[in-house]
Amino acid sequence: MSELQEEPKQDRTGVELFAGAGGLAMAVHGAGFRPLLFNEFAPRACQTLEANGAKLRGDEERIPEPGEPWPLVAGDVQDLDMSYLLGRVDVLAGGPPCQPFSLGGIAKGDEDKRNMFPQMFKAMRQIRPKAVICENVVGLLRPSFKPYLDYILREMEMPFELRDPEATWQEHDQILIDAGRAAASDPSERYKVVMTRVNAADYGVPQIRHRIIIVAFREDLGVDIDQFREDVLPQYSQEALFRSMLNGSYWERHDVDPRVIDRVMARIPKDVPLDSDRSKPWRTFRDAIAGIDENEGKPLPKIPWDRLDRREYRAGGFTDHIGWPDARIYKGHTPNELDRPAKTVKAGVHGVPGGESVMLTDDLETPGGITYKHRYMTVRETARVMTFPDDWKLEGPRGEKMRQLGNAVPVKLGAVFADAVAKALDTAQRPRP
């Protein structure tokens, strides 16, 4: 059963914008926040959400009861009025489209019409959530975008300081700077903001994925920000992975050809500190295929080389584990290796770019050789790299499924921050009457 169809133990509530394939939605719901509203624009992503328990809301603005399907509004967030949820929402979550700031995109930034941060601010004003979770790309940290990122953070701190439609963002930013020098007359209209730069691999995701997570707490709640920062510190490291390979514990988990082990071990740095820093080993692509977390004990079967035929044959009973032909390794696009976290899953204009979703296998091109065969990752392997459970359904053709995964927040990464937000709200001071 999909995680979103199970009711949380406490009746905390959530709203998610830019819901996509549901990665952050699963994380937030798993932390105990019952969905009151979801919004997504892309038709295929909406079909994925519906396949996993969403139901189109229609025009009726109502609060769903516990146990009811979570309401989905499919369409442009700019047309969505959330005022009926005022005072009913614990957490607002979402990852505004990252293309305006992506290192792989056109990078027009705030001038790009796809910049949806203003819609997050509008939602904050309309529903006044206790907390906000926002994910985006590290491209926002580039020097050319850093001033706009600072403005985003200030506007998230003071979303009720409305921007004049005729004003530039720079002019409004100065107004925010001036307003921030004084205490708020109404603390429920101000937020404490924490931005964290993350690598998903440091949080137990079997993938190198650099992002920023912005979390805001309503000022009147008295949340312990220092404790929250501590609760979202990384728990995994590359050095711990190397140590597990050196002491053999990593290889004990996997049945690997000794030649492959020799190849991997030869590239481990000589200066790896042997004393433990208490971090856990990075998860690797091989770990993901073998099964981790809710997929533990459910290894994905190998794709036979004669079945790279685009045909669904339900290998081992797993959906979307389908071989795909014509994989090539492009210059500048090295393949994924099994004994490292996977490379960043990307969503290009036509799906995942060629070369980026190619993987090296343990199979040699010729017996006794040194060159290993490669193939495309399956959708199911990619979903595991994004830490989606196997029972989460993805809708659309292969390219659309891969695009949805590339745009998603890894479930396990989102869970660390959603759980920390839930803990912070549980332990926060009650608002003064």
Annotated catalytic residue, options 19, 36, 82, 98: 98
Query: Assign residue 55 a region: left if phi > 0, alpha if psi is -120 to 50, beta otherwise?
Result: beta
Respond yes or no: is residue 134 known to be catalytic.
no
Alpha carbon 143 to its chain centroid, in Å, reads: 24
The 3-class SS string of 45-68 reads: HHHHHHHCCEEECCCCCCCCCCCC
CB contact at 8 A, 422 and 33: yes
Distance CA 103, CA 262 (A): 35
Q: Which class for 137: exposed (0-12), middle (13-18), buried (19 or more C-beta within 10 A)? A: buried
**Residue 45: what residue type?**
A
CB contact at 8 A, 306 and 166: no
> How many residues are listed for the chain in this entry?
433
- CA 290 → CA 16, 91, 295, 302, 411, distances in Å? 31, 34, 8, 11, 18
Catalytic residues: 98
